[in-house]
Chain A
Amino acid sequence: MTKHRLSLATLAVAALLGAACSPVGQDGGGGTEDPRTGQARKGGDLVVALSEEPDRLDPSLARTFVGRIVFSSICEKLYDVDENLEVVPQLAADLPDVSDDGLTVRIPVREGITFNDGTNFDAEAVKRSLDRHREISGSARASEIAPIEEVRVVDDTTVEIGLSEPFAPLTAALADRAGMIMSPAQLDKLGENFADEPVCVGPFSFAERKAQDRIVVTKSEHYYDAGKVNLDRVVYRTIAEPNVRLSNLRSGDIHVAEDVAPTDVATIQNDANFQVVETTSIGYQGITVNIGNGDGVGPPFTKPGTPLASEEKLREAFELSLDRDALNKIVFDGRHTPGCTPLSPASPWAVEGFECTPHDVEAAKRLVRESGIPTPIPVELITANNAEEVRVGEVIQSMAKEAGFAVTVRPTEFAAALDEAEAGNFDTFRIGWSGRIDADQNVHQFQHSSGSLNWAGTNDADIDRLLDEARAAQSTEERKELYRQAVERASEVRGIIYLYHENLFLGAAQEIVGLEYFGDGLIRVTNAGFAAEQG
């Protein structure tokens, strides 16, 4: 009955690490909407509907985006991002101090704060958590902070991290789950079952979880900024179907609905009882073209023998046939942000003034003719098997047809699609990336020949060199320039044809104030509450 969210939707729709309440001028899509501000009264239970069931609530093991939304109320991190997606200290006392060779990173941590079980937060606890992230079996964090060789406690308020190579994206990684610090007392108690009752530093503390139903967190008395917290409880419910989330919002059963479908936005906006909070994702959506993944991800790179893989000109023709604006208008009511790079306009890393390949059917036809390959040229497109993704596939199908491509849309269950992608058993794959704060995390693993998610099989010496240099460079300006060059080269190779950046929509009752929805696309409820009675 319904769209299955464990689908590309996990990457695509629920996606997003990111989104920014875009500052004026960076907004690529329609007008973004800020959440309602105003005086909140104390007390109240906020019910938030998530689009998917969170996985285990263990910062070292957790893998779902919705899990991060829950963590945002119970587990603070060394660093966080502000509304401009700039990294700011949270449990750290200041930004890290990096040695000249880039191999030693010193992080001062806050003092005088406590975990939600009342135990003391200190550098020792930070080391314990970072080590656990790196070492626990099945860690989802290990690869994010792989260059960390050693974590040392300098004193109660300072940790020092030794790196195997300079690693500029480290701070950004510590602004995500890899920077979450768990209570050592609770780790002693629960060990690898920490998820049964997670305890960190946070405005709320974990109260109960009913599988596939709800996760309840209650206001923490130990939180260092408890005075700012208004709500008594936050209840996270899982409602996978977008229209069901919406009807529950209307009926008042929930107060906040994550991931409202773009096509439903207008309906909510027109209702005085509700507000829509919007932000542009720092992820991207695109088509991965199999150009060198003939027999599985990674080297050796073998061409799969399809026309698109053999002829660079045909990939250009394929892109020329696609009308990004029309796609956005038809399927998403024009509410996403068309784009053609891995770096969203919402991100500080966005490439300014980048020119997309225009929609030009005549030019596409000409290239197809010149290639000498008889039309229609067969192209198979794997998409998620939900209605919206199939719609995207069908629109692409009809656009590419005009240029002489016969696209077969093959909706596939997500789990099965991943297998095909890993095995290199596909022509093209409609998939995206939820986005991360640092540019490296949005480009390297997809475009670098050694990338673990290099499903396209891109193997380009220039791209590899630029991405390696960008990783090691310390100055932001220098790194930005390297990413600009890398993105330009990638747009010629076309291992991934980037299509658009999602805009994310939160539906909320009008009475809710103080929601924060930015940066990493999390729903921050620390300062949220029910509006105080007027007058």
Chain B
Amino acid sequence: MSAPIEVVGWRTRRRVRLRQRFLRRPPAVAGLAFAITAILIALLAPLVAPYSPDAQNFGAALAQPGGPHLLGTDELGRDVLSRVIWGARASIQAGVVATLLAMAVAVPLGLIAGYFRGGWDPVIMRFTDLLLSFPFLVLAVGLAAILGPSLTNATLALGIAAVPAFVRVTRGEVLGLREEDYVVAAVADGATDRVVITRHILPNTVSPLLVQATVTIPTAIIGESLLSFLGLGVQPPTPSWGVMLSSAQSFITQAPWLALFPGIAIFLTTLSFNLLGDGLRDVLDPKALT
């Protein structure tokens, strides 16, 4: 209460120490680097891609990798490399936006349930249990089918499907924090709920939420490619890794590279987020701090 300056100082020091701990983990750093690269590639796709992703060239259909088309061409003669690069947009948009969406819905719910408890807690928790009682993909496929196929709707479906996990994490964390001495003290001193929540509760839920986010992003990326694979995601001619895999299926013997490269792209992206998530967990784990 009386020493806000010291709190800030402690936080800054902690941040520096965390950064150092993070940087000592090469896999996590590599994950972060690749994730940033993937995001940059997605943002800069028009500049990075050697060809237009939907320029058809029937003369050059199903060209093998190498030559003018580094990763070959697809059945309509489109450059696979360019499509993989543009495909990053759909995947990363779905991964990141779905996660942010889930957090935007789930964090307030988790806060209400964990902080105020009372009447809302059971309601919110039954709602969470309800969503949890549908397997993630079954829920996502159902929602995407209801909403109709498009990237926005697929993102929305994945976001909703990811809500319950975030609610549980937030609530669990908040329940624990409420019992912490400094929170109890703050409440006893007559601090308003708003102050307690914004000063003491929320900042401390950041770490677990961050870790949960790094788990959710790759799940949503795979989810997007799966929905697109099923025809419930991105609309043509917009490239998406899942759409590419879906159409590659009919050429699996003639042109295996069509299935290979988008799959590798999905794999590397999810791997990078998983590496990052593992690193963050190690670094932020309170047990590891002591």
Q: B149, A387: Cβ atoms under 8 Å?
A: no
Which of B151-159, B204-212, B249-257 lines the interface with chain A? Answer: B249-257
Smallest beta-carbon distance A290→chain B, Å: 19
**What residues on A are CB-neighbors of B231 within 8 Å?**
3-4, 385-386, 390, 411, 413
Q: In whole angstroms, how far apart are the Cα atoms of A141 and B75 in the complex?
A: 41
What are 26 residue pairs bridging A and B, where the CB atoms are less than 8 Å apart in the complex? A1-B230, A2-B249, A3-B246, A261-B250, A263-B75, A263-B251, A263-B254, A267-B253, A267-B254, A330-B61, A330-B76, A331-B75, A385-B232, A390-B231, A390-B243, A391-B76, A391-B247, A393-B236, A394-B237, A397-B236, A398-B54, A398-B76, A409-B235, A409-B237, A410-B235, A413-B149
B229 interface residue (CB < 8 Å to A): yes
Question: Bound state CA distance, A263 and B252, in angstroms?
Answer: 11
Assess whether B253 is in contact with A411, with CB atoms less than 8 Å apart: no
Given known pairs A385-B149, A413-B149, the reply for A395 and B56 (CB within 8 Å) is yes
Bound together, the chains give a CA A438 to CA B56 distance in angstroms of 40
A388 beta carbon closer than 8 Å to chain B? yes
| Interface membership of A242, Cβ < 8 A | yes
Interface footprint category on B: 20 to 34
Report if B169 contacts A (CB, 8 A): no
Known: A329-B58, A387-B247, A394-B76. 19 other contacts (CB 8 A): A1-B226, A1-B230, A1-B246, A3-B231, A4-B230, A4-B231, A243-B252, A263-B250, A267-B254, A330-B58, A330-B75, A386-B231, A387-B246, A390-B236, A391-B76, A393-B236, A408-B235, A413-B149, A413-B232
Return the chain A residue nearest B148 by Cβ. Answer: A416
Q: Does B145 contact A (CB under 8 A)?
A: yes
- Min CB–CB distance B19 → chain A (angstroms): 42
Contacts of B75 in A (CB 8 A): 263, 330-331, 391
Interface size on A, residues (CB 8 A): 33
Q: For residue B270, give the distance in angstroms from its CB to the closest CB of chain A.
A: 18
> Does residue A441 face the partner (Cβ distance < 8 Å to B)?
no
A386-B231, A411-B231, A413-B231 in contact; A394/B236 too (CB < 8 A)? yes
A390 vs B229: C-alpha distance when bound (angstroms): 12
The A-contacting residues of B in range 212-235, CB under 8 angstroms, are 226, 229-232, 235
Complex: A338 Cα to B148 Cα, angstroms: 32
- Which residues of B sit under 8 angstroms from A331, Cβ to Cβ? 75
Per-position 1/0 for A20-61, Cβ under 8 A of B: 000000000000000000000000000000000000000000
Asked if B76 contacts A395 (CB within 8 A), the reply is yes
Question: Does A186 sit at the interface, judged by CB under 8 A?
Answer: no
Contacts of B58 in A (CB 8 A): 326, 329-330
Q: Considering the chains assembled together, what is the distance between the CA atoms of A242 and B235 in angstroms? A: 23
Q: Is the CB of B232 within 8 A of A398?
A: no
**Is A485 in contact with chain B by the CB < 8 A criterion?**
no
> Which residue of the partner chain B has the closest CB to A242?
B250
Which of B148, B246, B252: most chain A CB closer than 10 A? B246
Interchain CA distance A267-B250 in the complex, whole Å: 13
Specify the chain A residue showing the minimal Cβ separation from B57.
A398
